[in-house]
Structure 1
Amino acid sequence: MLNTVMKAVFGSSNDRYVKSLGKIVDQINALEPQLQAFSDAELAAQTDKFRAQLAEGKTLDDILPEAFATVREASVRVLGMRHFDVQMIGGIVLHRGEIAEMRTGEGKTLVATLATYLNAIEGKGVHVVTVNDYLARRDAEWMGRLHKFLGLTIGVIVPNLNEFERREAYNADITYSTNNELGFDYLRDNMKHERSQMVQRPFNFAVVDEVDSILIDEARTPLIISGPTDDKSELYIAIDEVVKEFPEEWYEKDEKQRNIQLTEDGTEEVEKILIEKGLLQSDNLYDVVNTQVVHHLEQALRAVHMFKRDTDYIVKDDKVIIIDEFTGRMMDGRRWSNGLHQAVEAKEGVKIEPENQTLASITFQNYFRMYPKLSGMTGTAATEAAEFWDIYKMNVVEIPTNVPVQRIDEEDEFYKNTQDKFKAIAKAIREKNEIGQPVLVGTVSIEKSELLSEFLKEEGVPHAVLNARFHEQEAHIVAQAGRIGAVTIATNMAGRGTDIQLGGNLEFRIDDELSEMPEGPGRDAAIERIKGEIAEEKQRVLDAGGLFVLGTERHESRRIDNQLRGRSGRQGDPGLSRFYLCLEDDLLRIFGPDTLFARMMNSNLEDGEAIGSKWLSKAIETAQKKVEARNYEIRKQVVQYDDVMNDQRKVIYEQRAEIMDSDVVDDVVVDMRHDAINAMVGNACPPGSYPEQWDVEGLKTQLGEVLGLHFPIEDWVQEDHVEPELIEERVRVEADRVMEEKLAKDDAGLWRRIEKSVLLQELDAEWKDHLATLDALRQVVGLRAHAQKQPLNEYKQEAFSLFESMLDKLRETVTGKLMRIEIQDPEPMPQMMLPDLPDFLTGHIDPLSGLEDSNDGDGSARRAELFGSLAGSPRAAVGPGGSISDNPFAGLEISRNAPCPCGSGNKYKHCHGAISA
């Protein structure tokens, strides 16, 4: 009660913060008359003036008022749009590394120009991150005109760019891109062999558009770059043979989760069998050295006992093909991940295809936390404010609207079943359509969109159905969703980033209707005609009540519901929103038979009858909060596990960068050699032990394997007062002498290049194997909870131990290779090249289920666009090597794991990208 009174008198903390920014806005406004008097050349020269002031010691905050005023004036001249005062507040919030929550239609794209211009003046690079390629291209072209006027360079990153084009785009003052492209470029850069091959610059500042979608919705699935692994078919077959002999009392099945685990007695028996077969490296099944074997064992158990032939899969043409559990259709080209598909192949005795192994991965949380300053903007962030602060240390600031919101948000209507609900929805849409009121319908899935479409066809209502697959085409449809009598059905993401303007969008209508008309009086007259039609139509829509937003179901996140509602009532327009719910909706069904909803089902609610109440809406909001909390915990768990790997990732990537930047790495190589020798001697001759306890033969053998040298260690041990340090020194001296002889005999410059090449290659190889082991460990460490242990702590400890082991192995491997290398023919060696990077596959893999969960940000719109231009072309495409190919996409850079651009639904490698094509 007291808080309510205090807020009413003094305003909320958000209100007070926004009000405090008004003083800076007043400074900006005071400069406007002065800048209006500038010529275009004088206005553009402001950028050089600001750079000179920064060089003299001024800060960005010092020049902010004049810089913002410059952008506002340039926008008026170039774009015909003047920033409102609330947009200036939004720009300040973005510059300060905070999240600006601004309602739909408040001009977030224009707001971003303020912060991006100010921060780009330093020349360190600014990234503007969007949710899809269409928006990246659109914003770069649209807002790029303003920035170019002020003397800044603009770059845009979209799929199918080559490395030179990407490097040029990243070197621009402001770069527009999607989150996926940025993340994958970062991972690929840290797999390059030379600094000159890298495309990105050091991170500086990023503005994330639709920040809730990118940093919250997509944050559960890390970015993964993978490649084919070594052939492990013998291991799969060996373990499969063992698993098929297990009696039922050795394991317990969980049919619901499709999981299976060994009992205590079963574990003991399995250990004995695996030791006997020579498959374990120690006598304890759960030792860290046996992590890979445990992982394969668990997948084999699932394959043999949980996955049924002709139910979960079929065997056709010597291949295991997954059957979709919902449709019963074959899913040719799809494979289970984490080795499960290979385990089923071993079970059925067909050819075992190599699994894809993680070569590099990172979560969006850890990627975006690398920016020294990160900001974002969206229409809906307040509900996730706690998560933004906990994970990213970003504060959410609610920016007031330029004009008060007039939209009416009605109570939810509640029906007994889906059939009744959709009948009521179709009837409501028909009624609104008859009076000309435009309707935007939000659905949670493509399936629900198609179902509603059938109901509308029965009612005879013309409509458009969108499903967030082709962003550019759908943006044009969504932009016109405010026209008289328009009915548009859209899934959650369809057309996001596009304003719905009542009466129609002038820019999109010009593009759609006048794209073929040349410049001239005729085109000008046509534009004026369209303007008049839009003004007349807007008035008719206003009289009909504005845009009616209809939600067919409550989403599990209130934020998504608010996004849909926010499409109506932009810039003070009237509007209406209403949600239709039923007991069969996912959100209501999840919250069990003993809840309010089930009791209502048993009441006297008649078929087709609707009820609505604030109490019911409050209960649904409570359910949404529970789901949001659960989803937050899942995302938090993902980032907690990735934080462990992130510390190791930073070490490896920093080491790679140092190696690439160094002309010579001889000091690193020498240190590695000495550390490897010290470790080998230390293991065989532990401190505090007696010479008769030392493993002399083992040490002699290991030194021979690693260094290729033989030492009379038995004689040294017989000497008086011999110490391990003396043995270490003698071995180091001899190894150093051998290497010095090699350097004296061969070209020293050539040797330095060889050392650098070997060091990078072995570092990458060991890191790749380490990631595979961590993947396997991540899958099985949850079982430690049964032993009353905290899985995350166990993961941290074992990951650290594995990392130390990896570094030890790296030192030995690098030392061994360099000790053995002999240059036979030095003539062609100066032209030696590092190996090409492999053919990467990119995607989002859910770390909990192991299933691919990629969104549509993979360039499918771009591929569809390319297909449209190629499909009508009579000529064949030129394939690799200049040969003519039957594959129309042969000249394009398309990931082999991506959907084929022809629209068949198959992966590219199984369609036009097949080897035989």
Structure 2
Amino acid sequence: MLGFGSLAKRLFGSANDRTVKQLRGRVEAINALEPQIATLSDAELKGQTDKFQARLAAGESLDDLLVEAFATVREAAKRALGQRHFDVQLIGGMVLHSGKISEMRTGEGKTLVATLAAYLNALEGKGVHVITVNDYLAARDAGWMGKVYGALGLTTGVIVHDLTDEERRQAYACDVTYGTNNEFGFDYLRDNMKYRLDQMVQRPFNYAIVDEVDSILIDEARTPLIISGPTEDNSDLYRRIDLLMPQLEEPDYEKDEKQRTVSLSEEGQDKFEKLLLEAGLLKSENLYDIDNVTIVHHLHQAVRAHIIFRRDRDYVVKDDKVIIIDEFTGRMMTGRRYSEGLHQALEAKEHVTVQNENQTLASITFQNYFRLYPKLSGMTGTAATEAAEFGEIYKLDVLEIPTNVGVKRKDLDDEVYLSMREKFDAIVTLIAECSTRQQPVLVGTVSIEKSEMLSEHLTKKKVPHRVLNARFHEQEAHIVAQAGRPGAVTIATNMAGRGTDIQLGGNLTMLLEDELAAMPEGAERDAKAAELKARHAKDKEIVLAAGGLYIIGTERHESRRIDNQLRGRAGRQGDPGGSKFFLSLEDDLMRIFGSENLSRMLQRLGLKEGEAIIHPWVNKALEKAQQKVEARNFDIRKNVLRYDDVMNQQRKSIYEQRIEFMRSSDVADITASMREHTVNNLVAEHIPANSYAEAWNAKGLEEAVQRIFGLELPVGAWAAEEGIAEDEIRHRLTDEVDRYMAAKATRFGPEIMRMIEKSILLQILDQCWKEHLLQLDYLRQAIGLRAYGQRDPLREYQQEAFNLYEAMLDHVNEEVTRVLAHVEVRVEQPPQEVEQQFARVEPARLEAVHPDPDGIESEAAPAPAPRQAPVVNRSAAGFNPRDPSSWGKISRNAVCPCGSGKKFKHCHGALVE
């Protein structure tokens, strides 16, 4: 008997069906305009853009323009690309424009769909970002779809790795900008480390379309983007600890494969305590003394590197480097690095050059980055399984768009074997059968190791094949494009986000490009092209007769979406095709996450050596295992976001203040407020409120005033006056300090003083923010221990982070005040030279890093070399501790002449570092 919900769905359709039905009304209106738009000349078609923008300026909304704008884009695509948007693609474009996710099957033309919403939203002149998963696809799509935008008078830019700031600025100034999620995110972080507004490359955020939205907002969102700089070199320590790893035995550690964690057992701790003592690495005899914290960290990372991480599965070694393998796509992630010293531990393990560690200078999660856009949308072939997460984290609804032509692909039930050997034998047999009948086969594996294992099996059987893993994107696209040729066998590690359709008979466009590239224009080339087209048509008929593309999965992935993406490669645009997954009880998913009773259940069902079993129970057990992993990964992402949300408010506040400082031509009011805040804090610290004079620390206040302002004021004498109150002392201090700073401003000249104030303000804010991030890193690593005291780590982190932030702001106020009080420059310099001298000193080398769930980082191009430091005028006049110009040449390690007790390089010398 049907429940009420099922009955209502049958009678009225699902909510998804009803929404799609409503949108079809607009599709009919767009189709009705098509004959009229088709009569326009190319110039008139381009002129539509000016008309739309004029109507927007007159008060119409984008929704008012949608029907005409979409009809215009469709006509432009027909002329520029020879492609006409299907009706379902128009629906997909409407969903994107409404700020939702369009779930469209593989081969439905998502790249073309994006042009509809991108053009409509670009009419406002605020810029549209189209975000994809790799540089190749970003450049390809920008060049390809740029023809459509160009035909309509809009500009197109592309953001890829290794562009200069000026090139990036020009690309962001375009109407539509294509690029990768990492590049957009890192540019945001780098912009908020710039010194002047004209150095920033991005415009204010407006609207983003995220291609492969599940890959970017789900898979890659477990860890933040990080800009980092180098710390001290510990490479020798990693190598020395790695020398002890051969003595690591199974009883020495406890491993959890599900969580991918490992820790030393008590026996292991005792053993390595002795080994580290013998090696002279411990500063005290107890491994867990405070002095040995660094050694424990290095030891833990070395154990992880040896026990959890496997070569050719998690990483490869190439050209004296450890290169990470992307778990979702199987590509080499050149330039990316594991964080927190893990990559260095792997380098030591593999005996390659150990690179330096890094410190966080700026960071943001993808969740918080993409929530900066006032309007966000996305598209992918597989989003429905993660609809709850999209709704909860990003407030994005998922709408399934029907296919242009019905799907004819036959998805067969999984086959389960007892051992991996039996499973591979069955896969090779099926591939050989398909190859014999000229049916193309795409085989999906979960790792490079598995694809090479399968390749060996096929080589022994003499089955021709190509292995696609960890190649450059350009080569990858050409291999994938021809995977539909008769009898082709292609092995690929995960097909997520490849961005290239597999067309039956092969991709004619790429075939012509490859074969005719070296041939000059002429009759011979035309004849060759005709021959290739005829061959392609024949090949397509052969493949259609053989049953279309056959998809073979060598095991189930942790995520159902990755399996669905692999399946979706077959059956595009109504093509025939088939898919089947082969599993064994030795597969990681079955072994780690499957039910403990699964093996016994299969034995009861009669599974024997060499036999496969197909049963609904097995499929249900597998689905539950995948749901467990998906739920665990969702929890990881939510946890990352909860912690980053704590920092996000602080980050937004700091970045907004930086931009406000950069916009201001005069920050004198801000520095005056900081000075007042510092004086108030000093008085409150040394003169308790409502206390008697005997309880005052007048001497300490006098010393603090001398240290911070460089002023020798008779605070002790003031405090001894009869009936004096703390407010009077505060006023006298404020007056003296203001008088001193006003005299300094007069001496330097107002223009130079304003430049110095702004520069020092930004330098110190950045330095304090960097130190704050480091403190939060340490706090985050240790906060989990609070759970042992029955306290919520997140709540504790929120409170501690707030206290640290308040302390940082106080420190910024004091440091800016102190440095401005002590700074001296040669006043005869032109203002522009002073500005250069006080420009913010950049770190010697920046890296843009994006950790994976186990902590991956990725590198970016080196930052510019440090700018010229300010020149301090050291005349030969008589020595005065309050006048740095009288000090002469001072050793960097000497005590600072100002009387602070600090080394010169950490006091007045800090400005010239």
- Kept in 1: contact 2:477–2:500 (CA 8 A): yes
Match of 1:402 among 389, 401, 404: 404
With 103-112 and 603-612 compared, the bigger mean Cα shift is at: 603-612
- The 3-state SS of whatever aligns with 1:359 is strand
Q: Distance in 2 between matches of 1:746 and 1:735?
A: 17
Structure 2 counterparts to residues 672-821 of structure 1, below 5 A: 672-821=674-823
- Equivalence for 1:874: none
- Kept in 2: contact 1:323–1:330 (CA 8 A): no
TM-score, L = length of structure 2: 0.83
- Kept in 1: contact 2:104–2:110 (CA 8 A): yes
Matched, 1:611 2:587: no
Q: Distance in 2 between matches of 1:218 and 1:678?
A: 47
Match of 1:88 among 87, 90, 98: 90
Q: Distance in 2 between matches of 1:212 and 1:840?
A: 29
Q: Distance in 2 between matches of 1:572 and 1:295?
A: 66
Match of 2:555 among 548, 553, 559: 553
- The 3-state SS of whatever aligns with 1:568 is coil
Q: Distance in 1 between matches of 2:314 and 2:116?
A: 49
- Equivalence for 1:458: 460
- Equivalence for 1:837: 842
Match of 2:106 among 88, 91, 104: 104
Match of 1:425 among 424, 427, 434: 427
- The 3-state SS of whatever aligns with 1:576 is strand
- Kept in 1: contact 2:339–2:851 (CA 8 A): no
- The 3-state SS of whatever aligns with 2:221 is coil
- The 3-state SS of whatever aligns with 1:219 is helix
Letter in 1 for 2:209: V
Q: 1:711 deviation in Å?
A: 2.6
- The 3-state SS of whatever aligns with 1:489 is strand
Match of 1:448 among 450, 453, 457: 450
Q: 1:139 deviation in Å?
A: 0.5
With 515-524 and 371-380 compared, the bigger mean Cα shift is at: 515-524
- Equivalence for 2:32: 30
Q: Distance in 1 between matches of 2:747 and 2:428?
A: 86
Match of 1:300 among 292, 295, 298: 295
Letter in 2 for 1:109: T
Q: Distance in 1 between matches of 2:620 and 2:157?
A: 47
Structure 2 counterparts to residues 170-181 of structure 1, below 5 A: 170-181=172-183
Q: Distance in 1 between matches of 2:96 and 2:344?
A: 48
Structure 2 counterparts to residues 46-85 of structure 1, below 5 A: 46-85=48-87
- Kept in 2: contact 1:260–1:298 (CA 8 A): no
With 499-508 and 691-700 compared, the bigger mean Cα shift is at: 691-700
Structure 2 counterparts to residues 627-638 of structure 1, below 5 A: 627-638=629-640
- Kept in 1: contact 2:302–2:345 (CA 8 A): no
Q: Distance in 2 between matches of 1:630 and 1:300?
A: 31
With 579-588 and 708-717 compared, the bigger mean Cα shift is at: 708-717
Q: 1:537 deviation in Å?
A: 1.4
Per-residue deviation, residues 498-536 of structure 1 (Å, max 9, x unmatched) = 001101111110111111223344333333332222222
Structure 1: which 5+ residue stretches go unaligned? 241-251, 267-278, 280-292, 314-321, 860-917
Q: Distance in 2 between matches of 1:228 and 1:312?
A: 27
- Equivalence for 2:362: 360
- The 3-state SS of whatever aligns with 2:798 is helix
Q: Distance in 1 between matches of 2:306 and 2:83?
A: 60
Q: Distance in 2 between matches of 1:159 and 1:415?
A: 45
Structure 2 counterparts to residues 211-226 of structure 1, below 5 A: 211-226=213-228
- Kept in 2: contact 1:471–1:495 (CA 8 A): no
Q: How many residues align?
A: 802
- Kept in 2: contact 1:438–1:484 (CA 8 A): yes
Per-residue deviation, residues 456-496 of structure 1 (Å, max 9, x unmatched) = 11111100101143111011111111111011011114771
Q: Distance in 2 between matches of 1:29 and 1:662?
A: 52
Q: Distance in 2 between matches of 1:124 and 1:294?
A: 57
Q: 1:333 deviation in Å?
A: 6.0
- Equivalence for 1:852: 856
Letter in 2 for 1:35: I
Q: Distance in 1 between matches of 2:6 and 2:544?
A: 36
Q: 1:700 deviation in Å?
A: 2.1
Per-residue deviation, residues 201-247 of structure 1 (Å, max 9, x unmatched) = 1111111111111111111121111112368999x99xx9xxxxxxx
Q: 1:450 deviation in Å?
A: 0.4
Letter in 1 for 2:820: L
Match of 2:120 among 109, 115, 118: 118
Structure 2 counterparts to residues 162-241 of structure 1, below 5 A: 162-229=164-231
TM-score, L = length of structure 1: 0.82
- Equivalence for 2:19: 17
- Equivalence for 1:899: none
Q: Distance in 2 between matches of 1:620 and 1:754?
A: 65
Q: Distance in 2 between matches of 1:426 and 1:623?
A: 26
Q: 1:623 deviation in Å?
A: 1.0
- Kept in 1: contact 2:661–2:758 (CA 8 A): yes
Instruction: Rate the CA distance shift 1:631–1:225 in 2: closer, same or farther, 3 A.
Output: same
Q: Distance in 2 between matches of 1:309 and 1:614?
A: 38
Q: 1:633 deviation in Å?
A: 0.2
With 117-126 and 589-598 compared, the bigger mean Cα shift is at: 589-598
Q: Distance in 1 between matches of 2:44 and 2:152?
A: 10
Instruction: Rate the CA distance shift 1:62–1:701 in 2: closer, same or farther, 3 A.
Output: same
- Kept in 1: contact 2:414–2:614 (CA 8 A): yes
Per-residue deviation, residues 775-816 of structure 1 (Å, max 9, x unmatched) = 111111010010011111111111111011111111111100
- The 3-state SS of whatever aligns with 2:205 is coil
Percent identical pairs in the alignment equals 58
Q: Distance in 1 between matches of 2:116 and 2:301?
A: 57
Instruction: Rate the CA distance shift 1:353–1:133 in 2: closer, same or farther, 3 A.
Output: closer
Q: Distance in 2 between matches of 1:438 and 1:311?
A: 40
Q: 1:375 deviation in Å?
A: 0.6
Match of 1:416 among 411, 415, 418: 418
- The 3-state SS of whatever aligns with 2:163 is coil
Q: 1:836 deviation in Å?
A: 5.1
Structure 2 counterparts to residues 219-618 of structure 1, below 5 A: 219-229=221-231, 257-259=261-263, 298-303=293-298, 337-338=339-340, 355-493=357-495, 496-591=498-593, 594-600=596-602, 604-618=606-620
- Kept in 2: contact 1:547–1:576 (CA 8 A): yes
- The 3-state SS of whatever aligns with 1:45 is helix
Structure 2: which 5+ residue stretches go unaligned? 242-251, 271-282, 323-336, 862-913
Q: Distance in 2 between matches of 1:299 and 1:340?
A: 13
